Amino acid sequence: MTKVVNLKQPHGAAGKKGVAALPKRLRSAHECPAYEQPSDEYHLDHILHGKMAKLTGGVSPIALALAGFDWWAHLMFSPAKQQMLRQSLMEKTAQITEYAAKAASGAQIDPVITASSTDHRFVSDNWQRWPFNVIEQGFLLSQAWWDEATSGVRGVSEHHLNVASYTARQMLDIISPSNSPLTNPDILQTTQEQGGKNFVQGMLNFMDDAERTKDGKPPAGLETFEVGKNIAATKGKIVYRNKLIELIQYEPTTKEVFAEPILITPAWIMKYYILDLSPENSLVKYLVDKGHTVFMISWKNPDTCDRDTELEDYLHFGIGEALKAVKAITKAPQIHGVGYCLGGTLLSIMVAAHARDGDDSFKTITLLASQVDFEEAGEIMLFVDESQVAFLEDVMWNQGYLDKGQMAGAFEMLRSNDLIWSRMITEYMQGKREPVYDMLAWNADATRMPYRMHSEYLRQLFLKNDLAEGRFMVSGAPIALQDIRTPLFSVGTARDHIAPWKSVYKILLLTASEITFVLTSGGHNAGVVSEPGHKGRTYQMATVPNTAHYKPPGQWQDTTPVTEGSWWDAWQPWLAGHSDGKIKPPAMGDSKEYVPIRDAPGKYVFMT
């Protein structure tokens, strides 16, 4: 396992007297310019699969084939299910035939089927006019039939059935009538009003986007958001840097601050500033203005030379070194730890390891849309099985990392209607540009994932669920989440497809802490970035003592009152209530080991 060494390097210098040498796997790109691709007995397989991934978008064709065969074979040996599907097909055919006949006559009739609340393709009134109402109803009935065909097939593994259902939805989404200018009444109306100019503008938009993609530029309009100027702009200093992180200390804005500082660990899959977007919705600025001393980890964007960086490196050289710096600068014996998404998972691992070793550095921990049990880890599990992980490992083997475009593609396919097809319709067929905002700028600023670390966390957390089941090793010994006694604040978001809130809620089963659980409106990002004053925001919150009986998530949701407003305004008093009064703000860095290196947002955030 990883040996913990002292990485404290004032001003980011290396090789000075008294400074420990970095592990070879943590050398930066300029220190290994002559990178050579490693070789093993599977070298040919790695090359073949890596090239194949460019054609499949990183999805294993074998994984899809196995799921498809499992579904098809069991369906072929299920005569009762086949009869049910034949009967359903006959009924739906009769329904659409009757509906079409009445609609053609101009009669006012109720729809046979309605789209789900999350499907916004057919919300326009234009879809209620003939013949588009018939087209819409026919498509929705076909969609409902395929949903029946890819569910409830006895004998198929749950994972394969989910993949089969997902694949059927993707194919149907491609041929949806909303995607064609001939069958989408909104596109036809726009074309009539503009005399076809929308298609000319749409072609220009497409060419502009293609050029931007080729040149590595951000999507159109996002250039108005500049890191360090109008996003990630909260004032601070880089007070520590190693080959994996920069540590930001934010400048105080109050005469006194709470005694315990806050250390935020963001996910390394994206840049840190999701929690420091524009000044009006920056969680960092909100906390600083409320009198908290805030530190933030900014992860380095890994390159080919970082291929062998381990998950435990992210623990020791990431949170571990940051924690050491925060305590040295503030002289605080304890801190408030905050983790977002995978950063929260990593924080949980660190706290459990500290609990095992008798270290009480954490006064409280806050987990934002973070999972510690991955048995029901949401739709992303469609892309996580042994076949898919092995395929991804081969992709990463060739280049040393998983590219940000390969990751983004998987997430976009989970919400293809919202992230792919709706954009195509609006920007390329109607000739309109989607409005831009700060979160889109952050979303376009993704990072890479080192080969070894990504493989380890996919296998240990997602496939084996080692953390929840007590097999996860830190420094050569297993850790147990049950050892955690620290007061805990956990936030789940109602429409999260990355970390479903019922999966996040499992933290109540796995620790011995008093847990304050919050369920907030919104999705994985928007539910967390939920600043006070944001219209329509609600949350549910309840504190569960460690002696209380367990409530299933549905029961908890039904019995917990809904509060209007931002959960931030409930969390901050919780932090204050677990703090030991106020003190004079600490200095920015110190004059010895943590001399400020440069102004925030630092260097690593600009690495592309």
Last residue of a domain, one of 194, 216, 251: 194
DSSP letters, 40-100, are: -TTHHHHHHHHHHHHHHTT--HHHHHHHHHHHHHHHHT-HHHHHHHHHHHHHHHHHHHHHH
Question: Is residue 269 located within the same domain as residue 129?
Answer: no
Q: Is 3 a residue whose pLDDT tops 50?
A: no
Count structural domains, the chain: 2
22 vs 407, higher pLDDT: 407
Question: Is residue 137 located within the same domain as residue 245?
Answer: no
Q: What pLDDT does 12 receive?
A: 37
Residue range 452-496, pLDDT digits in tens: 999 999 999 999 999 999 999 999 999 999 999 999 999 999 999
Question: Is residue 149 located within the same domain as residue 266?
Answer: no
Q: What pLDDT does 27 receive?
A: 54
Q: Positive or negative, the Cα torsion across 328, 329, 334, 338? A: negative
Which residue type, as a one-letter code, is found at position 5?
V
Residue range 277-323, pLDDT digits in tens: 999 999 999 999 999 999 999 999 998 889 899 999 999 999 999 99
Q: Is 529 within a domain?
A: yes
Q: How confident is the model at residue 19 (pLDDT cuts 50, 70, 90)?
A: very low
Q: Is 215 within a domain?
A: no
Q: Is 380 a residue whose pLDDT tops 90?
A: no
Neighbours of 17 (CB within 10 A): 4
Give the contacts of 586 (CB within 8 A, at least 6 positions apart): 257, 261, 293, 329, 330, 331
Question: Is residue 406 located within the same domain as residue 495?
Answer: yes
- Active-site residue, 341 included: yes
Q: How confident is the model at residue 10 (pLDDT cuts 50, 70, 90)?
A: very low
Q: Is 169 within a domain?
A: yes
Q: Which of 75, 164, 338, 341 is catalytic?
A: 341
- Give the H/E segment covering residue 583: strand 582-583
Q: What pLDDT does 7 receive?
A: 34
Closest listed residue to residue 589, CA positions, set 4, 7, 6, 11: 11
Cα(296)–Cα(233) distance, rounded to whole angstroms? 13
Q: Whole-number mean pLDDT of the chain?
A: 89
- Reading the block at residue 35, the tokens are 């990178």
Q: What pLDDT does 219 receive?
A: 85
Q: Give the predicted TM-score (pTM) of the model.
A: 0.89
Query: What share of the chain has pLDDT > 70, as a percent?
Result: 91
Mean of the pLDDT values across residues 5-24?
39
Which residue type, as a one-letter code, is found at position 291?
G
Question: Is residue 271 located within the same domain as residue 153?
Answer: no
Give the contacts of 552 (CB within 8 A, at least 6 positions apart): none
Question: Is residue 388 located within the same domain as residue 507?
Answer: yes
Q: Is 56 within a domain?
A: no
Cα(122)–Cα(145) distance, rounded to whole angstroms? 18
Q: What pLDDT does 443 receive?
A: 86
Q: Is 506 within a domain?
A: yes
- Residue 503: half-sphere exposure toward Cβ, Cα within 13 Å: 26
Closest listed residue to residue 339, CA positions, set 515, 491, 498, 497: 491
Q: Is 406 a residue whose pLDDT tops 70?
A: no
Question: Is residue 252 located within the same domain as residue 190?
Answer: no
Q: Is 16 within a domain?
A: no
Question: Is residue 249 located within the same domain as residue 184?
Answer: no
Q: How confident is the model at residue 56 (pLDDT cuts 50, 70, 90)?
A: confident
Tell me which of 45-59, 194-208, 240-254, 488-502 is least confident.
45-59
Question: Is residue 242 located within the same domain as residue 341?
Answer: yes
57 vs 76, higher pLDDT: 76
Residue range 240-254, pLDDT digits in tens: 999 999 999 999 999
Which CATH number characterizes residue 543's domain?
Answer: 3.40.50.1820
Q: Is 40 a residue whose pLDDT tops 80?
A: no
Residue range 306-317, pLDDT digits in tens: 989 999 999 999
Mean of the pLDDT values across residues 58-84?
93
Mean of the pLDDT values across residues 108-129?
91
Q: How confident is the model at residue 51 (pLDDT cuts 50, 70, 90)?
A: confident
Task: Tell which phi-psi region holds residue 140, choosing left (phi > 0), alpha (psi between -120 and 50) or beta.
Answer: alpha
Question: Is residue 156 located within the same domain as residue 279?
Answer: no
Instruction: Please give the residue range of the domain that contains residue 429.
Output: 236-606
Q: What pLDDT does 407 receive?
A: 66
Question: Is residue 152 located within the same domain as residue 279?
Answer: no
Q: Is 249 within a domain?
A: yes
Cα(1)–Cα(403) distance, rounded to whole angstroms? 26
Q: Is 50 within a domain?
A: no
Last residue of a domain, one of 161, 194, 227: 194
Last residue of a domain, one of 143, 165, 194: 194
Question: Is residue 415 located within the same domain as residue 356?
Answer: yes
Tell me which of 27-41, 68-82, 212-226, 269-283 is least confident.
27-41
Residue range 207-233, pLDDT digits in tens: 999 998 888 788 888 888 999 999 999
Q: What are the angstrom distances between the C-alpha of 354 and each of 316, 360, 362, 363, 486?
A: 12, 7, 9, 12, 11
Cα(81)–Cα(75) distance, rounded to whole angstroms? 7
